[in-house]
Amino acid sequence: MKKRIAVLASGRGSNFQAVIEAIAAGRIPASCVALITDNPKAYAIERAQRAEVPVVVLDYASFTSKAEYELALLDAMQRQEADLFVLAGYMRILGVAIVQAFPHKIVNIHPALLPGFTGLHAQRQAVAYGVKVAGCTVHFVDENLDCGPIILQKCVPVREDDDEESLAERILVEEHTCYPEAVRLFCEDRLVIAGRIVRIR
């Protein structure tokens, strides 16, 4: 039976596009039931409309507090009855109540090889630190920032003339293959979580 996935995005949604293209091509046994966004100007909305994916806009600026927004977000997520929530450039940290409501049902992609370079501007951190290899990580979301169990990682070399932008572009190419692959493995029930370890059946 096909899984139901919903995507949360705040911006251009290129990873959202990669996932819905993989679904359309039959590579992921799922249907995308919603795009949820906190930004009414997100380009991801256009991508969703082209793919006929329903859009839920929760304009963060229209809420009086983060707590009020998160209550609305939790309600919107619960209404999707999704098997998996995919964070695709969603630029807000999910509150503990939301994470705990969907244990091992939320995944994120981070443009670094975790556990290194968490948080914002991971590519800038990698260049500044002088690492020779960077990449991206798909992981389950838990209560701590960029800390959940790791599903997949892809590597790219860091070149001597790299800056934040050039490294980010090269990592993004890998993100667009890595994220759909991780979503596929989840939808095929091939991920087994044992503590911090994710095993692929």
- List, by residue number, the catalytic residues: 110
In angstroms, rounded to a whole number, what is the distance separating the alpha carbons of residues 37 and 171?
24
For residue 47, CA distances in Å to 11, 18, 28, 35, 110 come to: 11, 11, 18, 10, 21
CA neighbours closer than 13 Å in the CB half-sphere of residue 100: 5
Q: Calculate ∠ Cα 37-41-46, nearest 5°.
A: 80
